[in-house]
Structure 1
């Protein structure tokens, strides 16, 4: 692809481990290639950004580790290191009764307009 790669937005709606894990795989992969990435979680997807994260405690994490696959905690650290913008949807937090104070440091709270502005003419993937 000639020129600068378009931004990538990843919209995470699911609170399940597999979708959250793959959202992080896509986000870190795209960022490693130099793309600007925004990971936007809404509704149950906001669980990914909880400070007391339940997803790294899922049984599937041990299976991934045993098979040499990066888990959620490792991918979250890589996402931060790669400068991936992490946003929890304000309405999604309210829908799930998650207080903003329960989120990991560095996670923004904003709405879908912020996501769309960050992506501009780029691509959006929904999981």
Structure 2
């Protein structure tokens, strides 16, 4: 079957060459290949740097982006670390946690035993 393939096409179509249709930019880039190489290396580096910057902004727990975060990241990481899927082997509990707006919460404070103030002593 493969021996009959040249018979199916016309010799003009089989052996014709495509006209060189390269533009000015491609011709210049081939002629100045060192500059083309530097353009692609620097462009790749800038792309990697921009990608890393965007990744860091979206993963930083200290930054709160209202359009991206449904709850503040510091609470998310706090809950994930202390109440996550990993079994907590550390018997200590954090005495205080700070929310994204600066409010302090004492989640493990014993309401029956409060610390005495200086006036009560």
- TM bucket by the smaller chain? under 0.3
Structure with bigger gyration radius? 2
* TM-score using structure 1 length: 0.22
TM-score by length of 2: 0.23
**Bigger RCO (CA 8 Å, 6+ sep):** 1
More strand, by proportion: 1
